[in-house]
Amino acid sequence: MVTLTIDGKSVQVPENTTVLEAARQVGIKIPTLCYLKNVNQIGACRMCVVEVARARSLQAACVLPVSEGMEVFTHTPDVVNARRVNLELILSNHDRRCLECTRNRTCELQALADELNIDEIPYQGTMIDRPIDTLSPSIERDPNKCILCRRCVATCHDVQKVGVIGPTGRGFRTTIEPVFGRSISEVPCINCGQCIAACPVGALREKDNTKHVWAALKDPKKHVVVQTAPAVRAALGEEFGMPMGSSVTGKMAAALRMIGFDKVFDTDFGADLTIMEEGTELLQRIKNGGKLPLITSCSPGWIKFCEHYYPELLDNLSTCKSPHEMLGAVIKSYYAEKNGIDPADIVVVSIMPCTAKKYERQRPELASTGYADVDYVLTTRELGKLIKQAGIDFVNLPDEKFDEMLGDSTGAAAIFGATGGVMEAAIRTVADILTGEDLENIEYTAVRGTEAIKEATVNIAGMDVKVAVAHGTGNARPLLDKIKAGEGGYHFVEIMGCPGGCVTGGGQPFVSAQKKMDTDVAKMRAKALYDEDEDMPLRKSHKNPSVQKLYEEYFGEPCGHRSHDLLHTHYMERPKYAVK
C-alpha cells in the first residue's frame, strides 16, 4: 500500500493505482476526455493534468502511478489554466455545430466546456471539411467531429479484437478511419457499435431511421407493428433521467401505443420461440451425432464476426434466426393470415439495443415470406428521440401491457439481454424435456455474471451437458480457438457480440467515462432483467401458452418443415480484409 496526499487529503491505495483512481477514492473528480476505464489510458488529451510537488511539469493523472509520500494538487491556477488551454485547442478545429449533433447534451466535450466555463475560442484552427462516411447500414463516421482521443480505436482493437479503424496521416492531418480511407462498409466491421458507445463526441453514430418510421406511421395504407428487445426496457428510462437499472416495460408499451403503432408486440415472444427451436436443435444434434458444440445465433455482431474471422465454425452455429427476425417472420406470415392483412402492407419496426441489428435487417436471406422479416431497426436511443418528439411525459406514464399473443412471454425470455441469459433460458427448457419433469430449480447461476469466459457442466437426467459463455468478441476469440483445436468438449456455447451482452449494446443510452469509473453498467441493467424474470408467473419458454398455440395452429412442432422455412437461416464466409 502507498500513502499520498491529494489536495491535502491523505489516501492509502495499492501501489499500482493511478493518481486519477486515487483521487476518486477521496471524492476528488479530475476531468478526463481520452480516458476510458480499462480500455484507454494514454494521457493524450491532457485534460487530467495535475501538479505534483517538486515535479518540473504538469502530469497526466490517468497514467501517473502513485508513489509513497507523493503530494498532488488537482486545481491550482496552473492546472486549471492548462486544462482550459488544452480544451480550447481541441475546440479550435472542432465542428462546433452542437445543435445539429446527435450528441448534443450527452457530449463529454460539451460538458467539459461548460465545466471549465469556456465561452469563446481564442484560437481559430484551420477547418478541414472531411467527407462523412454514411455507407454502412449501421454506423456513420463524421471525422469533422473527431477529437483523436482514440477511445474507439482501443475499443475496436483491444476490447472487441476486430481492429478495423485506426489513426492515419500525421500531425494536423491525422484522422481515425479504416485502412486506405475505406468506408466502414468496406472493411470487416461487425457493426457492434461499441465504437459509438466509446466515442465521447458525435464522431461516430448509428444510422438514424426515425424519419422512415415516422413516414410509415403517417401512411394510412401501412399496418405498422413494433417489437421491443429485452434489454431495451432495462435502459430506456435513462434517456429520461431515471436511475440506471430501472425497468420501464409498462411505460414503454404505453409510449409506443401513444406514438401510433398499430400493434405493440414483445421480442421476448420471439426469444421464447428461439428457445423452442434452438433447444430442439441442440437435442437433435446431441442425439443424432450432429456438429457440436452448437453455438447460439442471437447476436448479429457475433454472427458477422464468425463469418469474417472463424468461417470454419459456421456449421457449429445454430441455424435459428435471431428473436426479432423470428417474430418479424411470424408477423408477416401467421399474424398476417389470421388478420387478413397483405404482408406487403405490414411494416415491422424493431426496437433494439444493438446497431448490428440494422445490418442484420437488410440481409437478403432474412426474407422468408418474400418480404424482409423486419423493415426498420431503431436503437434504444432512437426510441428515446421518438418519444420526445411525440411530446410524451414518459416518466409519469401509467404502465400498459403488450398486445396479446405476440406480446406474451416468460421470464426466460427477459434474461436474453444479459450475458449467459440465452444459455440459462435454453437449459431450463432442455432440462424439462430430458427429464420429463417440471423442474423447480431453474436458476443456473453458473452461467451468470460478467467473467470473460464462463464454463459449467450441468447434469440433466444423468447426462453431463458441458456449456460455455463468452461476451464481447475479444473474449470469444480464445474460446473459439479452443473449439477449433478440438478442446473443451462443449455441447452448447453462447456468444454475445457486446461486452456484458445486449444490456450494454452499441445502441443503448450513452454513459459518460466519468460515470463508468464508478458504475458497473452491465450489472445494473442486467439486474433489472433478472428481477423481471423472478416476477414473471411463467419462467420457462416452453410454458408460454401463446407459443404453444402458435405451434398447434401453425408450425406443428419445433424444427419442423414450416418452422425451418420461416424461423431458420444460413450464413456465409466473408472476407477477412478490406474489400471494394
**pLDDT at residue number 580:** 54
Question: Residue 20: enclosing H or E segment and its boundaries?
Answer: helix 19-25
The answer on 217 and 77 residing in a single domain is no
The answer on 467 and 324 residing in a single domain is yes
Q: What whole-number distance in Å separates Cα of residue 388 and Cα of residue 376? A: 19
Find cell 399473443 and name the residue: 405
The answer on 389 and 241 residing in a single domain is yes
Q: What whole-number distance in Å separates Cα of residue 565 and Cα of residue 547? A: 17
Q: Are 446 and 473 in contact (CB under 8 A)?
A: no
Q: In this structure, what are the phi and psi dihedrals at residue 346, rounded to the nearest 5 degrees?
A: -90, 130
Q: What whole-number distance in Å separates Cα of residue 282 and Cα of residue 261? A: 36
**Is 318 a member of any domain?**
yes
Structural domains in the chain (count): 2
Q: What whole-number distance in Å separates Cα of residue 332 and Cα of residue 367? A: 10
**Is 165 a member of any domain?**
no
**Is 193 a member of any domain?**
no
**Burial state string for 313-342 with b = 16 or more CB within 10 A and e = fewer than 16:** bbebbbbbbbbbbbbbbbbbbbbbeeeebe
- Domain hosting residue 497, numbered range: 211-567
User: What CATH number is attached to the domain comprising 27?
Assistant: 3.10.20.740
Chain-centroid distance, C-alpha 183: 22
Please enumerate in sequence order all residues whose Cβ is within 8 A of that of 214, keeping only pairs 6 or more positions apart, or say none. 386, 389
Q: Which residue is catalytic, options 239, 360, 382, 494?
A: 360
Is 146 marked active-site? no
Question: Residue 197: enclosing H or E segment and its boundaries?
Answer: helix 194-198
The answer on 218 and 80 residing in a single domain is no
Residue type, 259: I
Please enumerate in sequence order all residues whose Cβ is within 8 A of that of 385, keeping only pairs 6 or more positions apart, or say none. 210
Beta bridge partners of 294: 492
Model-level pTM greater than 0.75? Answer: yes
Q: What whole-number distance in Å separates Cα of residue 153 and Cα of residue 165? A: 6
Q: Which residue is catalytic, options 357, 358, 454, 540?
A: 357
Domain boundary among 47, 67, 91: 91
Is 281 marked active-site? yes
**pLDDT at residue number 579:** 65
Q: Are 159 and 499 in contact (CB under 8 A)?
A: yes
By the 10 Å C-beta count (0-12 exposed, 13-18 middle, 19+ buried), 124 is classed as exposed
CA-based nearest residue to 398, from 258, 224, 525:
258
**Is 375 a member of any domain?**
yes
Is 298 marked active-site? yes
Find cell 474471422 and name the residue: 309
The answer on 223 and 81 residing in a single domain is no
CA distances 483 to 287, 293, 312, Å, are 20, 8, 11
Is 185 marked active-site? no
**Is 509 a member of any domain?**
yes
**Is 330 a member of any domain?**
yes
**Is 419 a member of any domain?**
yes
Using DSSP's 3-state secondary structure scheme, residue 167 falls into: strand
User: What CATH number is attached to the domain comprising 465?
Assistant: 3.40.50.1780
Domain boundary among 56, 74, 91: 91
Is 92 marked active-site? no
Find cell 423447480 and name the residue: 440
Q: Which residue is catalytic, options 312, 365, 451, 552?
A: 365
Is 559 marked active-site? no
**Is 572 a member of any domain?**
no
Q: Which residue is catalytic, options 277, 278, 382, 532?
A: 278
Pick left, alpha or beta for residue 324 (phi over 0 → left; psi -120 to 50 → alpha; otherwise beta): alpha
**pLDDT at residue number 126:** 80
Q: Which residue is catalytic, options 502, 541, 543, 563?
A: 502
Q: What whole-number distance in Å separates Cα of residue 147 and Cα of residue 176? A: 9
Please measure the distance between the N-terminal and C-terminal CA atoms of the chain and give it in whole angstroms: 55
Q: Which residue is catalytic, options 246, 299, 318, 368?
A: 318
Is 189 marked active-site? no
The answer on 229 and 86 residing in a single domain is no
CA-based nearest residue to 535, from 247, 327, 279, 273:
247
State the 10-residue block means of pLDDT for the chain, 580 residues long.
96 96 96 97 97 95 97 97 96 94 97 94 86 97 97 98 95 92 96 98 98 98 98 98 97 98 98 97 94 97 98 98 98 98 98 98 96 98 98 98 97 97 96 93 92 93 93 98 96 97 98 97 97 97 98 97 97 84
Pick left, alpha or beta for residue 532 (phi over 0 → left; psi -120 to 50 → alpha; otherwise beta): alpha
Domain boundary among 51, 73, 91: 91
Is 45 marked active-site? no
Q: How many Cα neighbours within 13 Å face the side chain of 388?
A: 12
Q: Are 282 and 294 in contact (CB under 8 A)?
A: yes
Q: Which residue is catalytic, options 281, 307, 325, 424?
A: 281
Q: What whole-number distance in Å separates Cα of residue 550 and Cα of residue 122? A: 66
Question: Residue 266: enclosing H or E segment and its boundaries?
Answer: strand 263-266
